[in-house]
Structure 1
Amino acid sequence: MGAGPAGLLLGRLLHLAGIDSVIVEHRSRDYVQKRVRAGLLEQGTVELLREAGVAHRLDQLAAVHTGFELRFAEESVRIPFADLSGRSVWMYGQAEVVKDLIAAREGVAELHFDARDVVVDEAGGERPVLRYSLDGERVELRCDIVVGCDGYHGVTRSRMPGLRTYEHAYPFAWLGILVEAPPIAKELIYACHERGFSLYSMRSPTVSRLYLQVDPTDTLDQWPDDRVWAELHTRLGTDLGYGLNEGPILERGITSMRSFVAEPMSRGNVFLAGDAAHIVPPTAAKGLNLAVSDVRVLAEALADWFTTGDRKALDGYSERCLRRVWRAEEFSDWMTGLLHRFPDERNMQFRFREARLRYLAGSEAAMSSFSENYVGSAVA
């Protein structure tokens, strides 16, 4: 269920293992391929995409990052996470990953867009049933396995009884813009400012991606171009001598920030992967990478089961994934708290944050621990 990165990559890995699958997506192909989402891929994610044979464009187009710039209190420090952890990250948009995976599946295995009235029945049984309408015809699939890769609002999790959920909403949101302008730096810039957080990112040599912390009740009408650029100049510290290339804003949107985990990530022969099971705030860019980690574990477990009949790895899927999920959730929450200004925050709390940032920037031990978590090599 779901033709995002998790569902498409799982389908690809199963195909390479000789296991048939059907991917069902309720959105259109055009919508799925144009969704602007995360652009930071951990090294483990890139390695798996290469193993799956879908990294040809990634290797040609992606930029490899070995550090990022951290700005606070009119200071600028580079965090050289590759030197400290031995691992890099790649900048390559989620939409591009999706295009690569769709291209690899076309003409090879079933992929259905625009499915309607999707229902998962008998989710706790041995042969779950998937029902949906496609081109006006009702389809029923009696499945060995159903995997919900259909996101936070998908139908699969709602049909799984007895799940325990944990959720936290943050008192701010991100305003993101996609700009037709060359990036001003080769690496990301994270900025902690008394007016709020901002992030400078990039999508290509000609397109930049920028974010501003805003109130969660704000609307796009409250943020005309002039206000967006003025706030970016202020928070990114461009008055300290850093340039900022302005250009036409191609896309914009406001994203709420929350943490969410559902456990266990399976019931009977129905499994959850990616955003259907867990959501992280975007500060540490863990969402897509956690989904890929889930898929790697699940694909290996399914291959064992279909090949040998042994369910040990399949039954241990949830426990194994959740160790990484909770590590990433905690780090994402910590990094979010470190860089954002909270409503009604006392001045002393903001100075505490500056002290934490100075410790991170000045201690090799602290920077090494941060880097290990940031690149995804730290697992509880």
Structure 2
Amino acid sequence: MKGFSRRTGWDTGESGFAAAVREARASGREVVDLTLSNPTVCGFAYDAEGILGALADRAALVYDADPMGMRSAREAVCGYYADHGASVDPAQVMLTTSTSEAYGYLFRLLCDAGDEVLVARPGYPLFDFLADVTDVTVRSYPLFWDFGWWIDFAELERMIGPRTKAILVVNPANPTGHWTRLAERERLEELCARHGLALIVDEVFLDYPVTGEGGESFAKGKHGCLTFVLSGLSKVAGLPQMKVGWCVTFGPGADEALRRLEVVADTFLSMGAPAQRALPHWLAGRWGIQAQIRERVRENLGLVRGRHLPVESGWCVVLLLDGGGTAEDLLAETGVLVHPGSFYGLAGPGRVVASLLGPVKGFRRAMALLG
């Protein structure tokens, strides 16, 4: 045995924070968990009969592989975007088992080993691992806070180099809840077009505005550069266990990109027929769970009472701790469990991240412990 690849040489040892959580739970003390982000364990009412019944379609007994996904399922995705005011053709849609898989396909499509993708910071740390396993380098461009989150375009353009292949945007962002507004979108598209870059847009939280009507999908309108829009049922229908995602391709170079993506998808043929057959039913039933989630998020946010940075969308909130404490300090002093701000690349002391998805009773208890 000669060993393992360098791309998987991560430090998999227990972190100090993970050890503190394990010890707190083992001690028997009360731990109020504000990190719950799996909707299936947060007490929402699901239409179990409808969700599981959709898997009983006998047509799924026939294997009829289409690399991009069954047309009926892709048409359902087009219907989802039509509800957002966007016109999408099924030929533009590629089904995947998750947005993570879609990222893997796109990194293979766009990048050779050692090429770069620019990702916003603060942001979700998953992209580092997805890049590692595809031999791609992630470089972080900054979001800055000034009565709202904004892309630092001067720094973003400074970071573009000869090996940069794409800019990645999360719209709305996690955990900041930042919407990419029209002026920012236009600057991103102009920047990508001028430098020959692709624009990858993750919109899994699109349906969850916290304040106002929310932002618009990048699937809508004109596309000044090669653009890939990603989403999936994990958030759209609160069904992470069903493993259904998609990628929609727009703009200059889309035809060639789709031809190449079809070969990549044909190599894996990853999505099962039952999930594809069920997708139209699951998407049609998304409204009920979305309404419950939005109500829960807004109710929990109301309990924070100004101890947070303003949030426009999503399931998370950046909490501000008095005295510049850390998530580990908070756990030790109050028994309230949150994510460390450093996990998301949040700069400055006293910034931690809480999920707004958990039961209201637990959130109310946590706020009482915080005093």
TM-score bracket for this pair, using the shorter chain length = under 0.3
Greater relative CO (CA pairs within 8 A, separation 6+): 2
Hey, which of these two has a bigger chunk of strand by percent? 1
